[in-house]
Amino acid sequence: MTTKFLLEESRMPRHWYNIVADLPVPPAPPLHPATKQPVAPADLEPLFTRSLIEQEMATEREIEIPEPIREVFRLWRPAPLIRARRLEQALQTPAKIFFKYEGVSPAGSHKPNSAVPQAWYNAQAGIRKLSTETGAGQWGSSLAFAGALFGLEVKVFQVRVSYDQKPYRRALMETYGATCIPSPSPETAAGRAALAERPDHPGSLGLAISEAVEVAATNDDTKYALGSVLNHVLLHQTIIGQEAMLQMEMADADPDVVIACTGGGSNFAGLAFPYVGQTLRGGRRRRIVAVEPAACPSLTRGKFAYDFGDTAHLTPLTKMHTLGSTFTPPGFHAGGLRYHGMAPLVSHLKELGLIEAQAHTQNDCFAAAVLFARCEGIVPAPEASHAIQGAVAEALRCKAEGKAETILFGLSGHGHFDMAAYTNYLGGKLVDASYDEAELAMALSGLPSIPA
């Protein structure tokens, strides 16, 4: 009875998969914040290097993964696919549960899958410094690691609540040689404005993005790197789903349901898009489920509209599910899921009816995470616990309906730096703080108006 399905390094995918090539309707273009016209590649050049802009706008189905990037990936990829038999037994479900485990990377999550290519392309273009934001600390650690490999200086704005909750994430970033600053910070105009309004501001991903973008836009030697949301980041993550497909074949199984958590949408897209693409090219239709936090429910409660990706309105406008760029979610523990928007491509798929979305509370997710840890040994990242909760709910549905379906979920990272959150949960101290309805209404009423 095989438990871990391991691919040979030689079978690691050689291309990223671009779902844009297979979509029945193209996604709405990003707009310039001043002119409200579609952005041209040159508009993005202050922030991103040319090869990444080309990937952002690419329409071809496959984009080759350069060999120096594959060489770094071989440090931990291919990542394992694991059959969660003990979890199946604990739930007494007839369903088969598989998970694709991304926590084996040096930073402990899927984030290096994009950090390594982003750092490499910037280094190739002669860039010496990168600025970025981090919510959970996972992306900041990943870019810090990638920067160390290719000799780039990395400056990370870490959302204040996460900076306070996870001092060891900061230590990890500094170990890799990066600088880590709590956001909002006095270093940028966006940070100073937020602090003036609220000196104890908990920060948000939208605000940290503003700070990092401002640093890149105002320094010629610095480019910006984003850990999710954008097309090229989602593209880089498709190595996950392509590997999973080969591994599910090794397991002689095919998923009926594919589940992943969604913050900005990158690990979800990484696992799910290769499966959605197969369906779009005439293959079997599966259920594809995005799981988000009930306290920051962009896909299930947000509006599908053009909005800014950041709080200070420095980024292009993208059409996405959004809670409004000024929305500050409550300070719950899955810091990587505290984002007001959702990747435009994930949002587009939701609008086309190709994917479903669910929202779960953090206490339910931690309960699922603790059950999972006690069965399978891995302590999941709080973000990833949302995918586990989604999988547990499906497995219990299969039990109630007497169906032996196959469930595949993405375990996007481990939670070894999140033990304070577990201590809170185990001590009964976690509250399911809801967002403020009035604040949501206000944030949504402030959405930019776009001429038809």
Ligand X SMILES: Cc1ncc(COP(=O)(O)O)c(C=O)c1O
Angstrom distances, CA of residue 275 to CA of 27, 62, 103, 264, 427: 18, 15, 21, 19, 40
Task: Tell me whether residue 392 or residue 398 sits nearer to ligand X (CB atom).
Answer: 392
Task: Tell me whether residue 96 or residue 327 sits nearer to ligand X (CB atom).
Answer: 327
Reference 13, options 215, 245, 285, 187; nearest CA is 245
Q: x/- string (CB under 6 A) for ligand X, residues 305-344? A: -------------------------------xx-------
* DSSP-based three-state secondary structure for 155: strand
Residue nearest to ligand X as judged by C-beta position: 336
Task: Tell me whether residue 81 or residue 387 sits nearer to ligand X (CB atom).
Answer: 387
- 49 contacts ligand X (rule: CB under 6 A): no
- 162 contacts ligand X (rule: CB under 6 A): no
- 383 contacts ligand X (rule: CB under 6 A): yes
Q: Which two tokens stand for residue 261?
A: 């958590």
- 362 contacts ligand X (rule: CB under 6 A): no
Among 109, 204, 247, 389, binds ligand X (CB under 6 A): 109
Binding segment (CB under 6 A) for ligand X, from list 12-20, 81-89, 159-167, 377-385: 377-385
Binding segment (CB under 6 A) for ligand X, from list 8-16, 163-171, 174-182, 265-273: 265-273
C-alpha 115/C-alpha 146 separation (Å) is 6
Q: x/- string (CB under 6 A) for ligand X, residues 267-296? A: xx----------------------------
Binding segment (CB under 6 A) for ligand X, from list 44-52, 143-151, 263-271, 309-317: 263-271
Site for ligand X in 233-262 (CB under 6 A): 261-262
Task: Tell me whether residue 130 or residue 398 sits nearer to ligand X (CB atom).
Answer: 130
Rounded to the nearest 10 degrees, how much is the dihedral formed by the CA atoms of 412, 414, 420, 422? 80
Among 203, 309, 324, 413, binds ligand X (CB under 6 A): 413
Among 266, 298, 326, 389, binds ligand X (CB under 6 A): 266
CB distance 240 to 270 below 8 Å? yes
Total of chain residues touching ligand X, rule CB under 6 A: 21
Binding segment (CB under 6 A) for ligand X, from list 88-96, 136-144, 154-162, 300-308: 136-144
Site for ligand X in 203-232 (CB under 6 A): 228
Q: x/- string (CB under 6 A) for ligand X, residues 115-134? A: --------------------
CB of 31 to ligand X, least distance (A): 22
Strand pairing report for 96-101 and 81-83: antiparallel
- 136 contacts ligand X (rule: CB under 6 A): yes
Instruction: Summarize as ranges the residues that interact with ligand X (CB under 6 A).
Output: 109, 135-136, 138-139, 228, 261-268, 336-337, 381, 383-384, 412-413
